[in-house]
Structure 1
Amino acid sequence: MKKNWKDGYRQDCSGYVSMAAKLPKPGPNTVGLFNAHTVPIAVRDMRPGDLFIDKDDRPGPDFRHVVIFEKWANAARTQYWAYEQRGTYGTTYRKLSYGLKTDDYKPRRLKNITG
C-alpha cells in the first residue's frame, strides 16, 4: 500500500481496482472502496467488473482484499474467474470462491458503473 506505479496508482489490490475503475489517483484503500465507491449487491446479480471486498482488519494473511469478478467458472456458481493484485504474485487471473461461502468477502458494485 505504500508504493505507487508510474501512473500514480498504488501497487496493491485496491490501487489495481481504482486504476481499472478510473477512480482518482492513488485510489482509495479497500475500506474506502467498500464505504464510498460501491453499493451492495446479491451474489446472484454479479456482473463483469463487480467486486468481492473483504474490508475487515484482522490478524493473518487474508484481510482487506478486493478482487474483480469477470464471470462464473461453472454452472453451479461455486467458483468464478477474477482479476486481482496480490503481493509477490503481481496481477493474477484465476478461479476463486471468495464471497460464495460464509466469509468476510461481500459482493459490491462500483457506483460509477452503468448499464
Structure 2
Amino acid sequence: MGKAAEVAQITPQSASNVLNKLCKKKNILQREIRNKYMFTHRVYESLNDNIAYTKDKDFDEIQAKTMIIEYLNKNSSITRSDVERLCGFSSTSSKRILQRLRDKEIITLEGKARASHYRLK
C-alpha cells in the first residue's frame, strides 16, 4: 500500500480503499505476493496489450509452483486451500497449478474430496 499511496499522493488508507474497489470491480488482481497487483485480462485487452497480461500471468504461475515446492520441502503435504492462501489464487487457478505439477510428476495426489492433499513425489 505504501508505494501505491506514494505514487498516487494519497494516504495508505485511501490507497487501500481504492485498490480494494478496483479488485471488486475486477479491474485488478492481487498477485500471490501481498501488496502486489496486476491488471485483469479485461483491462489489458482494452489496452490492446495481451502480451503483458500473458507475461504477468505466466510469471505468477512460475512463482506459485516454486512456492508450492518450497512449502512441500518444509512440510509433508499441502491442500488446494493451502495453495489458495499461500499464492493468493482462486480455487480454479489453484487446481490448475496443482494439476500441472501432477502432470510433470513433481507432486502426487493422496486422498479424495475434502481429504485430498498433495505430496512431493
Larger Cα Rg: Structure 1 or Structure 2? Answer: 2
TM over 0.5, yes or no?
no
TM-score (norm 1): 0.29
The structure with more strand, counted as a fraction of residues: 1
TM-score (norm 2): 0.28
The structure with more helix, counted as a fraction of residues: 2
* Greater relative CO, 1 or 2 (CA 8 Å, sep 6+): 1
